[in-house]
Amino acid sequence: MPPAPSTDLLKAILAAFNAHDVDGVISFFAEDCVLDMPRGPEPWVARYEGFGPVRQGLQSRFTGIPDVAYGDDTHYVAGDTGMSKWTLRGTIAATGARIEVRGCDFYDFRDGKVVKKDSYWKIGEPVGGG
User: pLDDT digit of tens for each residue in the chain (130 aa)?
Assistant: 667 899 999 999 999 999 999 999 999 999 999 999 887 666 667 899 999 999 999 999 999 999 999 999 999 999 999 999 999 999 999 999 999 999 999 999 999 999 999 999 987 665 555 4
105, β-bridge pairs = 84, 119
Q: Say which CATH architecture domain 7-121 belongs to.
A: Roll (3.10)
Measure the CA–CA gap between 44 and 112, rounded to whole angstroms. Answer: 25
Q: State the maximum Cα–Cα separation within the chain, in Å, rounded to a whole number.
A: 60
